[in-house]
Amino acid sequence: MYFALKHLHLTAVALSFTLFALRAFWMLRESPQLQKRWVKIVPHIIDTVLLVSALSLAWMLQQYPFVDGWLTAKVLALLAYIGLGTIALKRGKTRKIRIMALAGAVLSAGYIVAVALSHQPFPGLS
């Protein structure tokens, strides 16, 4: 069960990051693709699967945010990623703000992956 859940989680991570990158590309090109209905719905479905699988894994492994430092770091970075991603794709008032938010979201995503792989809140320092 654990390996199937972990595989589902990792698949959702890959799909979420890939779709975010595609949407960011469309944002940079000012493509009308961003206004398609499926582009507004599918990310929510994928991110729901991602969240449910993450919570299930945490419960199964008995590792919890605000108890385990690395998981706390991931949750906080995820909140930054979501906020910056929203600014990059929707709420940024200027192109410059959107691009800066996009860069921050990409850095946050990279940090999340590094923390997930190392199980350390400061990957590479220990």
Q: What is the pLDDT of residue 124?
A: 85
- Residue 110, amino acid: G
In a domain, residue 123? The reply is no
Do 81 and 109 form a contact (C-beta atoms < 8 A)?
yes
**Helix, strand, coil percentages in the chain from 3-state DSSP, rounded to 5:** 80, 0, 20
In a domain, residue 126? The reply is no
In a domain, residue 37? The reply is yes
pLDDT mean across residues, the chain = 95
Q: What is the pTM of this model?
A: 0.90
Q: Model confidence over 23-54: pLDDT tens digits?
A: 999 999 999 999 999 999 999 999 999 999 99
Q: Is the per-residue pLDDT at 126 higher than 70?
A: no
Tell me the chain's radius of gyration from C-alpha atoms. Answer: 15
Q: How many domains does the chain have?
A: 1
In a domain, residue 19? The reply is yes
Q: Model confidence over 80-107: pLDDT tens digits?
A: 999 999 999 999 999 999 999 999 999 9
Could you tell me the residue range of the domain that residue 95 belongs to? 2-118
Can you tell me which residue has the tokens 């590792």?
63
Measured CA to CA, the distance from residue 10 to residue 98 in angstroms comes to: 27
In a domain, residue 14? The reply is yes
Cα separations in angstroms, 31 against 17, 23, 102: 19, 9, 16
Measured CA to CA, the distance from residue 24 to residue 94 in angstroms comes to: 14
Do 8 and 49 form a contact (C-beta atoms < 8 A)?
yes
